[in-house]
Structure 1
Amino acid sequence: MAALPTIKQLRYLIALSETLSFTKAAEICFVGQSTLSAGLKELEDTLGVQLVERDKHSVSVTPIGRGVVERAQRLIVQADDLVDFVEGSAGSMVGVVKLGVIPTIAPFLLPTLLPKMREQFPKLKVVLREDLSANLIDKLNRHELDFALIALPYDTDGFLTKELFDDEFWVVGSKDDPALKNKEVQLNSKLTDRILLLEEGNCLRDHTIKACKRSSAANHYGIEATSLLTLVQMVESDLGIALLPEMAVKSGLLNQTKLIAKPLAAPAPKRRIALVARPSTARIEEFNALVKVIKSS
Structure 2
Amino acid sequence: MTPLPSPQQLRYLVALADLGHFGRAAVACAVTQSTLSAGIIALERQLDAAILERGPAKRPVFTPLGLELVGRARAALAALSAVAETASAARDPLTGPLRLGIIPTIGPFLLPRLMPALRRAFPRLRLWLREDLTARLAEDLQGGRLDLLLLALPAALPDLETLRIAEDPFLAALPQQHRLLQQARIPLSAMGGERMLLLEDGHCLRDQALSACGLPGAGVDGAFAATSLHTLVQMVAGGLGVTLLPRLAVAGGVLAGTSVVLRPVEAPPGQVTGRSLGLAWRARSPRAAEFRSLAPVISEAVAACLMQDRHDKMVT
TM-score (norm 1): 0.91
Query: 2:91 maps to what in 1?
Result: 90
1:74 counterpart letter in structure 2: A
In structure 2, do the counterparts of structure 1 residues 44 and 121 end up closer, same or farther at CA, with 3 Å as the change threshold?
A: same
- Please state how far the C-alpha of 1:85 moved relative to its aligned partner: 1.3
Kindly report structure 1 stretches of 4+ aligned residues shifted beyond 6 Å.
Answer: none
In structure 2, do the counterparts of structure 1 residues 98 and 176 end up closer, same or farther at CA, with 3 Å as the change threshold?
A: same
- Residues 8-47 of structure 1 aligned to structure 2 (within 5 Å): 8-47=8-47
Instruction: Determine if the alignment matches structure 1 residue 205 to structure 2 residue 206.
Output: yes
2:211 counterpart letter in structure 1: K
In structure 2, do the counterparts of structure 1 residues 46 and 157 end up closer, same or farther at CA, with 3 Å as the change threshold?
A: closer
Distance across 2 between alignment mates of 1:181 and 1:22: 60
In structure 2, do the counterparts of structure 1 residues 196 and 4 end up closer, same or farther at CA, with 3 Å as the change threshold?
A: same
Aligned-partner SS, 2:145: coil
- Please state how far the C-alpha of 1:201 moved relative to its aligned partner: 0.8
Aligned-partner SS, 2:226: coil
Contact 1:249/1:261, CA 8 A, preserved across alignment = no
Instruction: Determine if the alignment matches structure 1 residue 269 to structure 2 residue 270.
Output: no
- Please state how far the C-alpha of 1:28 moved relative to its aligned partner: 3.6
- Please state how far the C-alpha of 1:141 moved relative to its aligned partner: 1.3
Fraction of identical pairs, as percent:
39
2:156 counterpart letter in structure 1: D
Contact 1:118/1:124, CA 8 A, preserved across alignment = yes
Distance across 1 between alignment mates of 2:143 and 2:191: 44
Instruction: Determine if the alignment matches structure 1 residue 282 to structure 2 residue 286.
Output: yes
Distance across 2 between alignment mates of 1:243 and 1:144: 32
In structure 2, do the counterparts of structure 1 residues 70 and 93 end up closer, same or farther at CA, with 3 Å as the change threshold?
A: closer
Query: 2:229 maps to what in 1?
Result: 228
Aligned-partner SS, 2:198: coil
TM-score (norm 2): 0.86
1:114 counterpart letter in structure 2: M
Aligned-partner SS, 2:187: coil
Structure 1 unmatched ranges of 5 or more: none
1:90 counterpart letter in structure 2: R
Distance across 1 between alignment mates of 2:295 and 2:151: 13
- Aligned pairs, how many? 297
- Indicate the RMSD between aligned Cα atoms, in angstroms: 2.2
Between 63-72 and 147-156, the greater mean CA deviation after superposition: 63-72
Distance across 2 between alignment mates of 1:278 and 1:128: 17
Distance across 2 between alignment mates of 1:24 and 1:85: 31
Distance across 1 between alignment mates of 2:221 and 2:66: 47
